[in-house]
Structure 1
Amino acid sequence: MKRPLLIAICVLLGLTSGCGSDGSTPDPGVRTEDAEAVDLDNLLIRVSGRAEVLPEARRLLEALGQPVPSLDGVPVSIEEPLRLAVNDVNATFGTGALTADGAFSVDGVPVREMHQSLAAGLTAPGLVRTATVIYDTAFTSARPRTDLVDTRAWALPESFHDALSAAVGEPRLLRHTDDKAATLRDAGFVLGRVVDADGRPVAGARVTPDRTELADRFYYPNADFSGVGQDGTGPDGLFVYVHSGADAETFRVSVEGADAYTPRNVGAAPGWGLMLTVYPGSFPPP
């Protein structure tokens, strides 16, 4: 996709931060007078980390006596969720495969191609197509300048997706999609978790979008995934956003009444789900 078209997409989707290069440089918090200049237009970075089956999915499968999918050899792609959402054929910047313990490392990721965020995408039989946000320009208003290490991605088994779709309920899914989709995958969705500074799930948190017309699309699964509510997160800190089943939408989500949580970039489109962890401060918890 040509750069002018990408800029046009950014304008149409209402994006500003991180969409294109504005020349701004965030304060890194250290002295940099003697640091070597970084050529962002030609910078290639390595992205490494680990993927694992979503803990709640593992718990549910084990409770039902069902096998937990192996991630050994599962393909992983480093991609731009914004570009993925608008079906850009150049949304993927590098690929690799998970090891038996879920580790991955992808070299040569071109920073200049990223506009809003980077995600680790997982696609394999038995798993729903997902992209887990691993870098968000919401924190720095800039692209990454170093390798990304110790990132974390989540794998979402088909059976857990089906249970989550059933918890939201077909009537709600059909209502939000004008009768186009009866599952979260067909609608498009965001599955997020609110955690504290130590990475512990936060119960009772409310997630609000910066577009008020989308507020009624957020749901909070209960502890056994038998249903959902709209009052706040349960003990797992999870929330689900149901997309319209139509064209891509992007927006930001905040944690209501909690200024320590930076508003995060999210987006959704039919056929896949965006995964993210919402945490206070600027750095992911350990």
Structure 2
Amino acid sequence: MMRPRFLLCCALLGLGPVACGPAVEPDPGVDRSDSQTVDTDHLAITVAGHAEVFPEATRLLEAQGQAVPSLEGLALTIEEPLRVGVSDPESVLGNGSLGSGGEFSVSDVFVRTVNLSLAATLEHAGFVRSSTVLFDTAFTRTRPRTDIIGARVWAVPVSFHDALTRAVGDSAIRAHTADRARTLSNAGFILGRVVDASGAPVAGARVVPDRGELSSRIYYPAADFQSARQDATSATGLFVYVHSGAAADTFTLSIEGSRSYLPRNAGAASGLGLVLTLHPGSIPP
């Protein structure tokens, strides 16, 4: 019962492999003759990119004849999402807002407290609270050391969340949460996409947690979102992980039978949706 909480605390205290000394060598380049040692305890970066409505949510809204909501002017938070799950006061690293095309740029993001991932969070009327992972230490084993540009952030409309909740089913959510929740948002969830090197969704992929007891919490919504199965992704490449509705938890996710998809840091907390894209290699398509 105490293992997940203990592991999460260890990770957030910096006891994992990313918690090296504060001074590390700069990223490799062609000419390093004038390179300076990077002090990650005081390093601040800029996180820039654009936000848009989650692709499958857009498709569903358009199929139903509904307008896709605008994101212009909405506030955006840069944070360490799993620190948020344990109410860590140092979880928020920066704030910004979205432009007319969903663009954003947040400067002076201090990365000292990033141990597992860096994410951008949206929480507004008409959308569920969700964090999109922008940087995962699973790839580099270190905190970010350079600016993040071209980041993509996904907003999850309440109507799409409700469709996913119906697809997974009330009885399944109640069973996974010991009757604490009846919606994915209340339970806490991960909304994931499995894509190939070009960014196209992958059908037939099976997502595997590093802890076997969590496997039953993963569902694969049907392409029409009328149901969900537990064997593999549909043509949408989507999967949903249902959290317990209780304390925050961390684990890793990988793709069964594929070495090109590296294990990824993941986690869940009640009231929060984590949006995660699983892709081959270390560079997002």
Q: Does 1:195 align with 2:198?
A: no
Q: Name the residue aligned to 2:226.
A: 226
Contact map agreement 1:17 1:116 (CA 8 A) in 2: no
Verify the 8 A CA contact 2:24 2:38 in the aligned structure 1. no
Distance in structure 2 (CA, Å) of the matches to 1:251 and 1:111: 21
Q: Distance in 1 between matches of 2:155 and 2:213?
A: 30
Show the 5 A alignment for 1:150-229: 150-229=150-229
Distance 1:8 1:154, change over 3 A: closer
Residue aligning to 1:265? 265
Q: What residue identity is the alignment partner of 1:134?
A: L
Give CA-to-partner distance per residue, 1:125-149, whole Å, 9 cap, x none: 1000000000000001001111000
Shift of 1:27: 9.6
| Aligned partner letter, 1:70 | S
Q: Does 1:60 align with 2:35?
A: no
Residue 10 of structure 1: CA displacement? 2.2
- 1:142 corresponds in structure 2 to 142
Which residue of structure 2 aligns with residue 249 of structure 1?
Answer: 249
Give the unaligned 5+ runs of structure 1.
Answer: 1-5
Which aligned segments of 4 or more residues in structure 1 are displaced greater than 6 angstroms? 12-15
Percent identity reads: 55
Question: Which residue in the other structure is 2:20 paired with?
Answer: 21
What letter matches 1:236 in structure 2?
Answer: T
Query: How many residue pairs were aligned?
Result: 279
SS in 1 for 2:223: coil
Q: Once the 2 structures are TM-superposed, how far is the Cα of residue 165 of structure 1 from its aligned partner?
A: 0.2
CA distance in 1, matches of 2:109, 2:67: 34
User: 1:161 and 1:21 mapped to 2: Cα distance?
Assistant: 39
SS in 2 for 1:112: coil
**1:77-92 maps to which residues of 2 (within 5 A)?**
77-92=77-92
Deviation track 1:22-56 (CA, whole Å, cap 9, x = no partner) reads 56969956456422221211111000001100111
Instruction: Note the C-alpha offset of 1:84.
Output: 0.9
Q: In structure 1, give the amino acid aligned to 2:132.
A: T
TM-score, length basis structure 2: 0.92
SS at match of 1:73: coil
Question: Residue type matched to 2:189 in 1?
Answer: F
Distance in 2 between residues matched to 1:122 and 1:174, nearest whole Å: 26
1:16 is displaced (CA, Å) by 2.2
* Residues 242-263 of structure 1 deviation map (CA, whole Å, 9 limit, x = unaligned): 0000000100000000101110
- The alignment's TM-score, normalised by the length of structure 1, stands at 0.92
User: Are residues 240 and 8 of structure 1, via their aligned partners in 2, closer, same or farther at CA, if it must alter by over 3 Å?
Assistant: closer
Distance 1:261 1:32, change over 3 A: farther
Asked if the contact 1:194–1:278 (Cα under 8 Å) also holds between the matched residues in 2, the reply is: yes
RMSD after superposition? 2.2
CA distance in 2, matches of 1:218, 1:174: 14
- Which residue in the other structure is 2:3 paired with? none
Q: C-alpha distance in 2, partners of 1:199/1:147? A: 22
Structure 2, unaligned runs of 5 or more? 1-5
